[in-house]
Amino acid sequence: MTMADPTDAGDAATDLACVREMRESASERLRGWPTTAEEDEDALAGGGGAQLSPRAELCVRYRLAQKRNVLGWARFLDRVESDLVASGGGDGGGGT
């Protein structure tokens, strides 16, 4: 089996387009949840006077962990895009 040569995989403009598509996918995922990360954090802190059952708390903690992972991924993609633009790979634009 021969490994592909990644140096011939594309150009900076294509990389930038790919990064933007991945970031848009992350944004869509965040919009797909019924609450924001801030709302989940507030619920876990007892905001609004509501006390979560142990099962509901576990569900909110799990959902919040997923959101934090997606938010971290989006920040990483922002950095990759910034580096690509700085190296002349695109025109900027976009953002989360």
Q: Is residue 3 part of a domain?
A: no
Q: Is residue 22 part of a domain?
A: yes
Domain containing residue 48: CATH number: 3.90.1420.10
Q: Are 42 and 48 in contact (CB under 8 A)?
A: yes
Q: Is residue 28 part of a domain?
A: yes
Q: How many domains does the chain have?
A: 1
Q: Is residue 57 part of a domain?
A: yes
- pLDDT single digits (tens) 44-88: 998 777 789 999 999 999 999 999 999 999 999 999 999 988 987
Q: Is residue 92 part of a domain?
A: no
Q: Is residue 55 part of a domain?
A: yes
**Cα(90)–Cα(13) distance, rounded to whole angstroms?**
6
Which residues form the domain of 18? 11-86
- pLDDT single digits (tens) 11-43: 888 889 999 999 999 999 999 999 999 999 999
Distances (CA, A) of 37 to 19, 46, 60, 95: 23, 14, 10, 18
